[in-house]
């Protein structure tokens, strides 16, 4: 007797099957993806300040962390008010300083009690009074890095001390009417995969909108008219301008090399209500842990020009970061994938050489090309540019939502939206040299005038 399923049932499809031909793995983009010491990409990243921990997560005991492929220990000293960052293994016989004792002037190794200052100087070798100990104290140091604590994030500089740049102050750091909350979001993949999404405004429409229950505001389902901008040597903008009824909604994402990113609001803007230069829902850095893991350290931003205060919860921060909470059952992740699924799903290091970059991926091509150039320049001896404070003010950023009532005029509305985007961005570029206190009021005034008078 025949049972169901006992007969072979070839799928009735005759086509050009290429599985076999294409079964070999394409390679990764090693130059950008590798971040460890003694890689050219790692050397490049070591020229910048990076957030490495949340202040609130560092208690009275030392914490072992990995950043840029290096095993490190973060600890408190003084009255617990100061923070140090050192290599993990003691230079005596390699005990881990994760088990060290935090003291008023540094960290003491648990094994034989050597005491290290925050800059790695050996202050005490208590069991040793020998000549050898004196020599080791003079010649040897524990590896250590300078640290800055700022608004709930701990930043470190891991490059050559003589090249330590100023800590960059962005316009997004402090703002009247803005509340910020630090958060972190780990990703189980190479940092470039996480970075790519910021200059990819199309994924917002599909991943977060049409292919899911809308993860951000409903209006993001619409496909926008895209434009990409390069500002100076290290600043990239990707705008998507959507037509929502009579409104034109200009949403701008941005990236400052190597790893600073901002966008518009996640929930506060959906294109239906007027908004002038609403600012980014997050101010964030994508920090490589090792070649196959990264952590986003960020502030989520709340207020009238940011996201609603009701999202200022741990869950809210995760949703702002990537559309959903971070840890979800597999079935839910399959039904409603968000950024984690999209970027981790590529594998620990994506095989970039198997990509087919499209015109809508222009932002990604632009920033990767520039980063590659800066990596190669550094290898040849030219230091990369730091975030620019050309006008003596904070580093200017543009991540935003601007929503203007400018109804379609008849004719090619896509072209009209393109012109609106240009006008909105140009007036901001023109205002960037103004002092902080004048810049935003001038931008508001010019947007108002643009809305009232049209493009002229
Ligand atoms: S291993 Fe640290 S003091 Fe001996
Ligand atoms: Fe996303």
Higher pLDDT, 74 or 12: 74
CA 321 to ligand 2 center in whole angstroms: 8
Is 65's pLDDT higher than 90?
A: yes
Of 87, 89, 92, the residue with max ligand 1 atoms within 8 A of its CB, to mutate for a pocket test, comes to: 92
Helix axes 436-453 and 413-431, enclosed angle (nearest 10) = 150
Q: How far apart are CA 199 and CA 270, in angstroms?
A: 19
How sure is the predictor about 212, in pLDDT bands with cuts at 50, 70 and 90?
confident
Helix runs in 380-456, H state only: 413-431, 436-453
CA 444 to ligand 2 center in whole angstroms: 28
Q: Which atom of ligand 1 is nearest to the CA of 95?
A: 1
Is 1's pLDDT higher than 60?
A: no
How sure is the predictor about 429, in pLDDT bands with cuts at 50, 70 and 90?
very high
Overall average pLDDT of the 310-338 stretch: 97
Evaluate: CB of 111 within 6 angstroms of ligand 1: yes
Question: Which contiguous run of DSSP H or E holds residue 379?
Answer: helix 362-379
Evaluate: CB of 99 within 6 angstroms of ligand 1: no
Evaluate: CB of 126 within 6 angstroms of ligand 1: no
Evaluate: CB of 442 within 6 angstroms of ligand 1: no
| Six-digit token string for 91 | 């230079």
Q: How far apart are CA 365 and CA 288, in angstroms?
A: 20
Of 86, 88, 90, the residue with max ligand 1 atoms within 8 A of its CB, to mutate for a pocket test, comes to: 90
Instruction: Report every protein residue that has its C-beta within 5 angstroms of ion ligand 2.
Output: 197, 339
Is 456's pLDDT higher than 80?
A: no
Overall average pLDDT of the 26-48 stretch: 96
How sure is the predictor about 415, in pLDDT bands with cuts at 50, 70 and 90?
very high
Q: Return the bridge partners of 120, or none.
A: none
How sure is the predictor about 215, in pLDDT bands with cuts at 50, 70 and 90?
very high
Edge-first strand order for the sheet with 115-116 is: 101-103, 106-108, 115-116, 122-124
Given the DSSP bridges, would you call strands 179-187 and 282-290 parallel, antiparallel or unpaired?
Answer: unpaired
Q: How far apart are CA 432 and CA 313, in angstroms?
A: 33
Q: How far apart are CA 4 and CA 94, in angstroms?
A: 65
| Six-digit token string for 377 | 């320049």
Of 98, 100, 109, 140, the residue with max ligand 1 atoms within 8 A of its CB, to mutate for a pocket test, comes to: 109
Q: Which atom of ligand 1 is nearest to the CA of 90?
A: 2
Architecture of the structural domain at 49-163: 3-layer Sandwich (2.102)
Tell the residue nearest (CA) to atom 1 of ligand 1. Answer: 93
Q: Which atom of ligand 1 is nearest to the CA of 125?
A: 3
- Mean model confidence pLDDT for the chain: 95
Residue 3, pLDDT score: 59
Residue 171, pLDDT score: 95
Q: Which ligand has the nearest atom to the CA of 208?
A: 2
How many other β-carbons are positioned within 10 Å of the β-carbon of residue 376? 13
CA 143 to ligand 2 center in whole angstroms: 37
Residue 242, pLDDT score: 98
Residue 26, pLDDT score: 83
Is 96's pLDDT higher than 80?
A: yes
Q: Percent of the chain beyond pLDDT 70?
A: 99
Is 59's pLDDT higher than 90?
A: yes
Q: Of 273, 227, 165, which Cα lies nearest the Cα of 398?
A: 227
Domain locations along the chain: 49-163, 179-453
How sure is the predictor about 5, in pLDDT bands with cuts at 50, 70 and 90?
low
Residue 398 contacts residue 267 (beta carbons within 8 Å) = no
- Burial of 428 (C-beta count, 10 Å sphere; 0-12/13-18/19+): buried
Evaluate: CB of 88 within 6 angstroms of ligand 1: no
Cα-based angle 445, 391, 275 (whole degrees, multiple of 5):
25
> 234-283: per-residue pLDDT in tens?
999 999 999 999 999 999 999 999 999 999 999 999 999 999 999 999 99
């Amino acid at each position: 007797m025949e049972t169901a399923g006992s007969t072979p049932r070839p799928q009735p499809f005759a086509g050009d099957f290429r599985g076999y031909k294409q079964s070999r793995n394409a390679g990764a983009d090693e130059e950008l993806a590798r971040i460890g010491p003694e890689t050219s990409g790692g050397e490049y990243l070591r020229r910048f300040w990076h957030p490495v921990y949340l202040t609130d997560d560092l208690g009275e005991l030392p914490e072992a962390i990995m950043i840029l492929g290096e095993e490190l220990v973060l600890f408190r000293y003084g009255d617990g008010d100061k923070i140090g960052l050192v290599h993990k293994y003691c230079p005596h016989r390699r005990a881990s300083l994760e088990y060290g004792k935090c003291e008023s002037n540094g960290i003491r190794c648990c094994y034989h009690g050597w005491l290290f200052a925050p800059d790695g100087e050996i202050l005490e070798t208590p069991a040793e009074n020998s000549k050898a100990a004196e020599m080791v104290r003079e010649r040897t140091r524990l590896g250590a890095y300078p640290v800055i604590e700022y608004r709930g994030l701990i930043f470190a500089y891991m490059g050559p001390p003589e090249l330590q740049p100023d800590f960059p102050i962005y316009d997004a750091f402090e703002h009247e009417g803005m509340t910020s909350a630090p958060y972190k979001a780990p990703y189980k993949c190479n940092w470039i995969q996480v970075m790519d999404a910021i200059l990819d405004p199309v994924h917002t429409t599909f991943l977060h909108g049409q292919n899911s229950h809308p993860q951000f505001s409903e209006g993001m389902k619409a496909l926008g008219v895209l434009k990409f901008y390069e500002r100076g040597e290290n600043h990239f903008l990707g705008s998507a301008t959507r037509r929502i009824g009579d409104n034109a909604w200009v949403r701008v994402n941005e990236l400052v090399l190597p790893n600073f990113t901002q966008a518009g609001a996640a929930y506060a803007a959906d294109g239906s209500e007027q908004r002038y230069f609403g600012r980014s829902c997050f101010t964030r850095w994508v920090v490589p842990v090792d070649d196959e893991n990264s952590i986003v350290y960020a502030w989520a931003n709340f207020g009238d020009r940011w996201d609603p205060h009701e999202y200022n919860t741990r869950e809210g921060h995760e949703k702002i970061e990537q559309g959903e909470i971070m840890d979800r059952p597999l079935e839910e992740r399959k039904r409603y994938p968000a950024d984690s699924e999209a970027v981790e799903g590529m594998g620990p290091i994506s095989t970039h050489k198997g990509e087919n970059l499209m015109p809508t991926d222009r932002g990604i091509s632009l920033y990767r090309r520039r980063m590659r150039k800066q990596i190669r320049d550094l290898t040849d001896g030219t230091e990369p540019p730091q975030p620019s404070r050309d006008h003596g003010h904070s580093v200017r950023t543009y991540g935003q939502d601007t929503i203007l009532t400018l109804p379609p005029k008849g004719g090619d509305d896509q072209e009209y939206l393109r012109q609106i985007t240009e006008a909105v961005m140009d007036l901001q570029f023109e205002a960037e040299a103004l002092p902080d206190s004048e810049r935003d009021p001038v931008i508001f005034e010019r947007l108002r005038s643009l809305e009232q008078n049209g493009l002229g």
